[in-house]
Chains A and B, each alone.
Chain A
Amino acid sequence: MKEFRMPSLGADMEAGFLREWKVKPGDYVQRGDIIAEVETQKGIIDIEVFDEGIIGELVIKEDDKVPVGTLMTYIHTSEKEVEKEPELVREESKMTAVQVKEPVKQMREPVTAPVHRIRASPLAKRIAAEKGIDISKVRGSGPEGAVIREDIEKAVQEKVTQPHKEIPPPIAEEIAPPSVSVQSYTENIRMAVAAAMSRSNREIPHYYLQTKVDMTAALTWLTEANRQRSSKDRLLPAVLLLKAVAKALTDVPDLNGWWENGLQRKKDIHIGFVVSLRTGGVIVPAIHHVDEKSPDELMKMLSDIIPRARALKLRSSELADSTITVTSLGEGAVETVYGVIYPPQVALVGFGGITEEPWAENGMVGVRPVMTVTLAADHRATDGNIGNQFLTALKQHLKQPEQL
């Protein structure tokens, strides 16, 4: 029997609203099935399971708001378990425990997303607890940004003087509105971006590298490739960029991972692709296993995921799994992006727009479509030399689009 807990859908998530159970006790589920819809700051997310089995008791009710890690339901991994007496189950479960070792690991990953430790004085913490102040929402004015007594007292003051504004920005509490307006999602996403980016700037010593790539070969290849495809199957340049990043990460794996008590390299390459929302804010769905996908498969995934991201309708794994982020500001006049890393990741690759520029090569000057590629990387995890190797590899791959 497995316990299924409220997953962390990104480092900045603290709690989620269970909006709807998609299963009932006794239902059979397998890996990848959607069992619930959970509402977070980033919209309503489909929650997937990572085990095969029978759904047990539904521990939390619809419209409950619970912290990350709260038990939601049980998944009986062997059918017999459901009926059997606990005594008899013991031997059986030993066996299944061995069998399901792999899925357990994968299920754990999103659950144990890092909890950011709040820097606060012991006194501030004590008063906050006594007065019912959420210390994570208080801005620290003490040394190194620590929350000190004064900050808590101010927060208490504000709470007393504004009794009507009891609804904190992230998630409207208790009132449980059946559908939160677009306006408040926009605000929530703004707050989520603010929290993640503030944390990034506070904690991550960024270093930046940049290079320019002659995109002639890539664009030529793309035009050729698209000539043979129907208009709805056409490849976007983003596909090439993602493929090239995935390949460069295979060459230089140190940039693909998380910083959690040291650099944790990830075997799988899940690229978080920054999608701007029309209402403001960004959302970063993970494109899974980019290295294993063909350009066409990747294009299909993008066509599916980008509209869903814009509609705030993503799956849990798509919010929590990214191992690196790619941002592409291809449409405006911007040539260079200096990114802010999304914690706990350790790198962000930025693509600027493609512009025609004079380009010297082999002693000749010509006009070429040129794109600036930047890398923002976590200096705790890697040094400039690794970044250099990565950008060099990336440039090389973009020059040989047929290999992608």
Chain B
Amino acid sequence: MNDNGTIITLTYREAIKQAIRDALNRDEKVFLMGEDVGRYGGAFAVSKGLLKEFGPDRIMDVPLSESGFVGAGIGAALGGMRPIVEIMTVNFSLLAFDQIANNAATLLHMSGGQLNVPVVIRMNSGTGRQLAAQHSHSWEPLFAHIPGLKVLSVGTHEDARAMLLTALTDPDPVIIFEYTSMLNIEQEISSEVQPVDIRRAKVRKEGQDISIITYGPGVYKTLEAATELSEAGIDAEVLDLRVLRPLDEKTIMASVAKTHRALIVEEAWQSVSISSEVSARITEKCFYELDAPVQRLCGIEVPMPYPKHLEDASIPQKDQIVAIVKKILQHEGV
């Protein structure tokens, strides 16, 4: 790594790989474990080449048993290691849900503060690759429901490059959602790695007229929508939640207090979702700042269809974001 802050172009996949490599180099207690992460190079080729670089003790292939290896990761964390557990896709995390919800999230509390579980669990998530109803879930709301977990969502290349590093400094379990649909996207970022504050949401674009609050794949879509909206004279603020639990109320409320309008965009199903929670908190904490009802644009509540056009229709797209913002602002020509 050079630290002179030049601009480099890289994929989201490459950014994650560099973060893992960085973490392995920084701390010898860190190791990566997961299905096919070693010899195969990862189901999505994120860890390709790392086995050769770091050896089988630190890049560990595990049997196809999510409950087993996530449990082993939790055990390793209790034993003083800093495991990065990769669950191939978020769908399989349900098999490990008991380990995460009942062990990782509870042990600090149940041991009276004696047992921290510094495990980081990464999972590929979301839609966009025609993987149909059982492999396209957005389970962020499920995990964000559980006290004892920190839940992060990687919506940009900067975060892909650096969020893992901050997560590994946390003494408690951190769940990181990465997005399959974004792996091949190329972006320019600074080669200088900026530390990511995993307690704070991040304003990705400042604006005056409306706060569009989103996370994950919604971030780039919303930024594109904001660019299009600015051509129509609408100055939208784009807020990347980044941390889904605990929510960064301060940043959310500051944004809404400035723009007086809020739209929440997420791919997860609308009912009992991150957007439900954000909307409720805005109404609770920021009611007298609102000049319009809080609106939400979420995934259509169906099992994810296989055909491309139906898959696209099931999640929020840029054009819809533009249209709903214009409607909220009563922009002429909608």
Q: Are B288 and A122 in contact (CB under 8 A)?
A: yes
Say whether A347 faces chain B, with CB atoms less than 8 Å apart.
no
Contact status B290-A142, CB under 8 Å: no
B244 CB to nearest chain A CB (Å): 26
Q: Is the CB of A122 within 8 A of B287?
A: yes
- Contact (A142, B292) CB under 8 Å given A123-B260, A149-B260: yes
Report chain A residues within 8 Å CB of B288. 122-123, 125-126
Contact with A along B270-306 (1 / 0, CB 8 A): 0000000000000000011111110000000000000
Contact indicator B330/A123 (Cβ below 8 Å): no
- Assess the B330–A121 pair: CB atoms within 8 A: no
Tier of interface size on chain A: 10 to 19
Minimum distance in angstroms from B58 CB to a CB of chain A: 55
- Tell me what chain A mostly uses at the interface: helix, strand, loop, or mixed: helix
A124 contacts across to B, CB distance below 8 A: 291
Residues from chain A with Cβ under 8 Å of B260 in the complex: 121, 123, 149
CA distance A149 to B289 in the complex (A): 10
Q: What's the minimum C-beta distance from B225 to chain A, rounded to whole angstroms?
A: 20
Shortest Cβ gap from B232 to chain A (Å): 18
Determine the chain B residues whose CB is within 8 A of the CB of A363 once the complex forms: none
Complex alpha-carbon distance, A126 and B287, angstroms: 10
A-B pair number, CB within 8 angstroms: 28
A1 within 8 Å of B (CB atoms):
no
Per the bound structure, the CA–CA distance linking A126 and B290 in Å amounts to 10
What is the total number of residues of chain B having a CB less than 8 Å from a CB of chain A? 9
* Contacting residues, chain B, for A122 (C-beta < 8 A): 287-291
Interchain nearest-CB distance for B233 vs A (Å): 15
For A148, list chain B residues within 8 Å (CB). 291-292
Q: Which of A123, A141, A142, A143 contacts B289 (CB 8 A)?
A: A123
> Shortest CB–CB separation between residue B150 and chain A, in angstroms?
32
Whether the Cβ atoms of B291 and A149 lie closer than 8 Å is yes
User: 1/0 contact trace for A135-148 toward B, CB 8 Å?
Assistant: 00000011100001
Instruction: Tell me the complex Cα distance, A37–B18, Å.
Output: 85
Chain B residues within 8 Å of A149, by CB? 260, 291
Task: Find chain B residues with CB under 8 A from A141 CB.
Answer: 330
Chain B nearest CB: distance from A202 CB in Å?
18
Give complex CA distance A38, B224 in Å.
Answer: 62
Q: How far is the CA of A143 from the CA of B328 in the complex (A)?
A: 8
Chain A residues whose C-beta falls within 8 Å of the C-beta of B330 in the assembled complex: 141-143
A143 to B326, CA, bound (A): 12
CA distance A281 to B292 in the complex (A): 37
- List chain A residues, Cβ under 8 A from B290: 121-123
Distance to closest chain B CB from A282 (angstroms) = 35
B234 CB, min distance to chain A CBs, angstroms: 14
Interchain residue pairs A-B with the least CB separation, the first 7: A123-B291, A121-B291, A126-B288, A149-B291, A122-B288, A122-B290, A122-B287
14 A-B pairs besides A123-B289, A126-B288 with CB distance below 8 A are: A121-B290, A122-B288, A122-B289, A122-B290, A122-B291, A123-B288, A123-B290, A123-B291, A142-B291, A142-B330, A143-B293, A143-B330, A148-B291, A149-B260
- Which of B's residues lie within 8 Å of A, judged by CB? 260, 287-293, 330
Which A residues are within 8 Å of any B CB, using their own CB? 121-126, 141-143, 148-149
26 contacts across the A-B interface (CB closer than 8 A)? A121-B260, A121-B291, A121-B292, A122-B287, A122-B289, A122-B290, A122-B291, A123-B260, A123-B288, A123-B289, A123-B290, A123-B291, A124-B291, A125-B288, A126-B288, A141-B330, A142-B291, A142-B292, A142-B330, A143-B292, A143-B293, A143-B330, A148-B291, A148-B292, A149-B260, A149-B291
